[in-house]
């Protein structure tokens, strides 16, 4: 129980950040959690399951006696295609999440600025505290959306490059030498 006491200031800071950022920040956090869940699933697949898929495909290919006919080429392409489908699963969804993050940040910007304009309409420019709340609701989601998008973009690009490399390696290992 004492370890929670040590982290209480961090949790309080996060709660305060979400208060300053408004409701859109919660949506960005949910989108970011979903995106990173998909990313971790892909990483786990590459580490745990993909080597087994390659092993099974290579074993099935090596078990073939004949590998030079048109039919053998189609079977090889099928093995490669099935492995590629597994490699690229959820990559488009991750890219979509990456693209949505800055758009959600922009939504936060718009809603925050609307709040600033409402304060200006009611109080004029004489109430800077009220305007500060709207400005924070405009800038914090923008920053959060961009940070989430940049981190997701970098990992998404790595996963795409790795999937391409794994597919090419499988093609190389499935030789046509019989």
| pLDDT category of residue 128 using cuts at 50, 70 and 90 | confident
Cβ neighbors of 22 (< 8 A, separation 6 or more) are 108, 111, 112, 137, 140, 141
Tokens 């936060």 correspond to what residue?
108
**Residues 124, 178 contacting (CB under 8 angstroms):** no
Question: What residue segments make up the domains of the chain, in order of their start?
Answer: 21-101+148-173
How confident is the model at residue 120, as a pLDDT? 78
Mean pLDDT of the region 83-106: 95
Q: How far apart are CA 160 and CA 152, in angstroms?
A: 12
Considering only residues 127 and 72, tell me which one the structure prediction assigns the higher pLDDT: 72
How confident is the model at residue 119, as a pLDDT? 77
Considering only residues 150 and 176, tell me which one the structure prediction assigns the higher pLDDT: 150
3 state DSSP class of 115: helix
**Residues 106, 145 contacting (CB under 8 angstroms):** yes
How confident is the model at residue 5, as a pLDDT? 66
3 state DSSP class of 64: coil
Cα–Cα distances (Å) from 100 to 9, 111, 128, 129, in that order, read: 31, 16, 32, 31
Mean pLDDT of the region 25-33: 94
How confident is the model at residue 134, as a pLDDT? 76
Percent of the chain residues past pLDDT 70, beyond the cut: 93
How confident is the model at residue 176, as a pLDDT? 67
Mean of per-residue pLDDT scores for the chain: 88
How confident is the model at residue 135, as a pLDDT? 81
Mean pLDDT of the region 19-48: 93
How confident is the model at residue 131, as a pLDDT? 74
Cα-flanking dihedrals φ and ψ of residue 22, to 5°?
A: 85, -175
Mean pLDDT of the region 38-45: 97
Whole-structure pTM value:
0.82
Tokens 């924070």 correspond to what residue?
136
pLDDT of 27 strictly over 60? yes
How confident is the model at residue 53, as a pLDDT? 94
């Amino acid at each position: 129980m004492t370890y929670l006491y040590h982290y209480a200031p961090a949790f309080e800071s996060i709660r305060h950040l979400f208060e300053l950022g408004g409701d859109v920040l919660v949506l960005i956090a949910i989108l970011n959690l979903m995106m990173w869940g998909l990313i971790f699933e892909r990483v786990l697949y590459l580490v745990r399951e993909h080597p087994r898929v390659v092993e099974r495909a290579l074993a099935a290919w090596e078990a073939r006696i004949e590998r030079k006919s048109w039919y053998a080429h189609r079977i090889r392409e099928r093995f490669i295609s099935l492995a590629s489908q597994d490699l690229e699963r959820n990559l488009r969804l991750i890219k979509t999440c990456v693209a949505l993050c800055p758009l959600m940040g922009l939504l936060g910007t718009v809603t925050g600025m609307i709040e600033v304009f409402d304060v200006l309409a009611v109080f004029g420019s004489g109430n800077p505290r009220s305007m500060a709340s709207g400005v924070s609701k405009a800038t914090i989601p923008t920053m959060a959306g961009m940070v989430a998008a940049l981190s997701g973009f970098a990992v998404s690009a790595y996963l795409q490059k790795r999937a391409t490399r794994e597919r090419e390696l499988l093609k190389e290992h499935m030789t046509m030498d019989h």
